[in-house]
Amino acid sequence: MIVVADNLNTRNKPYMAALEAWDSKGLAVMAKALAGAHADVINIQCSLDGSGDEQRLPWAVEVIQEAAASTLCLDSRNIEGLKKTLSLVKKPPMINYISETEPPEREECLALAGRAKAYLVLRASRGSIPISFEGKLQILEDLLEAANKADIPNERLFLDPSLVHIGRGSGQDNILNAHECILAVKEMVEPPANTIAWISNVSTGIPSRPVRKRTEANILTYLAGAGLDAAMVDVLDPEIQKALYFIKSFRDEIVFSPADIP
């Protein structure tokens, strides 16, 4: 299981304050904490819509890659921001994400990812997120074809079935269909591509933090059973850490020891 820390996002007030203040020391401390929590990849989000990313994202990447050895994930739909940042990264990053509607310059984003040998998240969305298994799978198939045409091999692609909030509308149906979508990708895509899910998104709107994190940990385990390859999670949360420990143990990725359980 590839662990992607999603902690550096726009909902994280201390992180956003560090960005606003250009506080390199504070940002470095946060990055070291994520690496210390065994994050294989650190997702970096400086805005929701890409505004200002041409300044903030390159700066944040330079600070974080000096503080932590983890691979970086560039969470931006700002093409200019991605161009500037890709020239600074020390090793191939992950780009999060392209969908059927984002970014508007999708072909240019694909070309950038291809030239940089970057890993790329393909998200099952066309402005709104389809509820049905068939809808998710069709979008992912179309995006996979576009990425392959841009000379990005399947081994560098991460297909995201797009989870939604479990407590709203058709959230439960969406999670079930995301599970089926992961199974289908594993069975149908050849050569194999990777799967990824933004686990933290499912609990948005649940008022109790303990309930949110328990929900996330259990959905993470549920999707891991379908063969999920990578998960975007709060790596600092104890519930998530325990779930990841057991998943990695059951997959024989680490040696199980009761003394090591977080």
Q: Which residues contact 145 (CB under 8 A, 6 or more apart)?
A: none
Residue 80 lies in a domain: yes
3-state SS record for the chain: CEEEEEEECCCCHHHHHHHHCCCHHHHHHHHHHHHHCCCCEEEEECCCCCCCHHHHHHHHHHHHHHHCCCEEEEECCCHHHHHHHHCCCCCCCEEEEECCCCCCCHHHHHHHHHHHCCEEEEECCCCCCCCCHHHHHHHHHHHHHHHHHCCCCHHHEEEECCCCCCCCCCHHHHHHHHHHHHHHHHHHCCCCCEEEEEHHHHHCCCCCHHHHHHHHHHHHHHHHCCCCCEEEECCCCHHHHHHHHHHHHHCCCCCCCHHHCC
The tally of domains found in the chain comes to 1
Backbone angles phi, psi at 140, to 5 degrees: -65, -40
What are the structure tokens assigned to 125, written together?
């969305």
The number of CA neighbours under 13 Å toward the Cβ of 111 is 6
Residue 178 lies in a domain: yes
Q: How far apart are CA 13 and CA 49, in angstroms?
A: 17
Residue 91 lies in a domain: yes
Q: How far apart are CA 103 and CA 172, in angstroms?
A: 28
- Rounded to two decimals, the pTM is 0.94
- Mean pLDDT value of segment 232-254: 95
| β-strands 41-45, 94-98 pairing | unpaired
Using the predicted structure, report yes or no on whether residue 187 has a pLDDT greater than 80: yes
- Mean pLDDT value of segment 75-97: 95
Using the predicted structure, report yes or no on whether residue 14 has a pLDDT greater than 90: yes
Which has the closest alpha carbon to 143: 103, 201, 116?
103
Which has the closest alpha carbon to 235: 31, 64, 93, 45?
31
pLDDT over 90, % of the chain? 83
Q: Which residues contact 257 (CB under 8 A, 6 or more apart)?
A: none
Residue 260 lies in a domain: no
Which of the residue ranges 10-24, 52-66, 113-127, 128-142 would you say has the lowest mean pLDDT?
128-142
Q: Which domain holds residue 186?
A: 2-251
Residue 215's domain is classified under what CATH number?
Answer: 3.20.20.20
Which of the residue ranges 27-31, 183-187, 204-208 would you say has the lowest mean pLDDT?
204-208
Residue 261 lies in a domain: no
Using the predicted structure, report yes or no on whether residue 9 has a pLDDT greater than 80: yes
CA angle 154, 122, 27 (to 5 degrees): 110
- Mean pLDDT value of segment 174-182: 92
- 198 forms beta bridges with 232
